[in-house]
Amino acid sequence: MDTIDARALLIVEDVERDPLLRGKARRMAEHIRADHVEVVDDAGLNEAATTLRITDGPRHGLTEDVRAVVVLNRFRFDDPPEVREAREGQFPALFRNPNLKLSGYGGYDWRDSGSPEHRERTGCVCQPAYQLHTIVGCPFRCAYCGLGRLHNILLNVEEFVGRLDGFIGDGGGQTLYQYDNWTDTVCFEPEYGGSRAMVEYFAQKPGCYLELYAGKSDNVGFLLDLDHRGKTVCCWSVAGETQTTRFERGAASLEARIQSARRCQEAGYTVRFRLSPIIPVRNWREENRALIRRLFEVTQPDLITFETLRFMNYEAVCRDLCPELLDPEMLEAMRAVQGAPTAFGCELPDDFRLQVYRFIIDELEAASPDTPYALCREQRATWELYAEDFARHGQTPDYYVCNCGPTSAPQEKEGHHTHFA
């Protein structure tokens, strides 16, 4: 487990009452350096959520020394509706942002992005799906992210996995389940035990596969001997050297991520990569070319997805990144549209964003022409602009495989080709 430097470690009192969870909490606490440790009830956690401002943090940026508040929590599966309602009335800070799960509710969550309503509202192509979430927060300090301020770790993950049959049912046609894009899951292993429990569950679950989000970590040794039976896909986020070293503080190096993917591939896992987000630094073309070539020199991913930096306007980019490292043409393009309305996720202007995508597609085709690729959370018009490129891989904005799409499970492999379930 990665070492976590924390402002506070809060242990929910129900964890202390359960011998198994208490033991897990003690094992994880050995890796948490905290100024303050406290056992809290609902009132104490509600107060901490308010006074420590753990529910509304800005991006990390490059200058602030961000230290997390760590909550060792538990799921509350069996609370009746009246108990939930009463808790929400008494302790509103625990419910202010349901995604954070401070209340102990949720975990088998519907991702609505890509639904017909979402596509119509945003113009964005994505695919709705159920996702698995048992941790919120990440020990890394990427400048463009804010997930390092709170680590809410729901310890009874084995109980959560034991209930998955009831949650999933017949799956409704979904074959791939992502775990857990609210964190880089493997950072908390093996002490946490969630990754092992998920891998072993999906190994024996007919017709269902797991996507395990390793993110920017290289902590995979505990995975290599698990009996996954080919039912787990491991996925990493990767970027060029400048972005990795300057904007992704605390994360594993690019080479370490690639080598961890190689180790998992040699252990029989399917591996995938996300170029996400692509931040155009001054030499972004050279760095992304080198990145793509290195991926295919060392591994055989069954697909790649990619997206540019989003949800950061010119002011945010200048504040939270380092303008001196960024492509001047990109900065000027963003400066020129300051204050103008933009499409969903299109703060990087179209002309420049499309330059990036054209380059990435050409490099992917040159490195591995048989490997499919997809845009992540992009406008339909962008998909249509590259329709011929995507068509070579059977991809369209209405039916495509991607890293976490609900029907993007790998079924079998023949050579370098993957047939999707």
Question: How long a stretch of residues is the chain?
Answer: 421
Q: Supply the pLDDT for residue 65.
A: 82
**What is the predicted pLDDT for the residue at 411?**
66
pLDDT at 330: 98
Can you give the pLDDT at residue 52? 85
Q: What pLDDT, on the 0 to 100 scale, is given for residue 415?
A: 36
**How are beta strands 37-40 and 4-12 bridged, if at all?**
parallel
Q: Residue 295 in contact with residue 257, Cβ under 8 Å?
A: no
Give the per-residue pLDDT at 63.
76
The helix, strand and coil proportions of the chain, stated in percent and rounded to the nearest 5, come to 40, 20, 40
Residue 192 near residue 24, CB atoms below 8 Å: yes
Give pLDDT tens digits for 19-72.
Answer: 999 999 999 999 999 999 999 999 999 999 999 888 777 899 997 789 999 999
pLDDT at 414: 38
Low-confidence ranges of the chain (pLDDT < 70): 411-421
Architecture of domain 107-133+170-420: Alpha-Beta Horseshoe (3.80)
Backbone angles phi, psi at 143, to 5 degrees: -60, -30
Q: Per-domain residue ranges for the chain? A: 1-104+137-154, 107-133+170-420
In 3D, which of 157, 289, 179 has the Cα closest to residue 231? 179
CA distance linking residue 140 with residue 143, whole number of Å: 9
**Which structure tokens are listed for 297?**
């020199």
> How far is residue 242's CA from residue 97's CA, in Å, rounded to a whole number?
33
- Beta strands at 410-414 and 417-420: parallel, antiparallel or unpaired: antiparallel
Residues 128, 122: Cα–Cα separation, whole Å: 14
Q: Two tokens at 303?
A: 């697909």
H-helix or E-strand containing 28?
helix 19-29
Residue with tokens 């597609």: 361
pLDDT for position 413: 42
User: Which pLDDT belongs to residue 55?
Assistant: 72
Q: What pLDDT score does 416 carry? A: 33
Give pLDDT, residue 53: 81
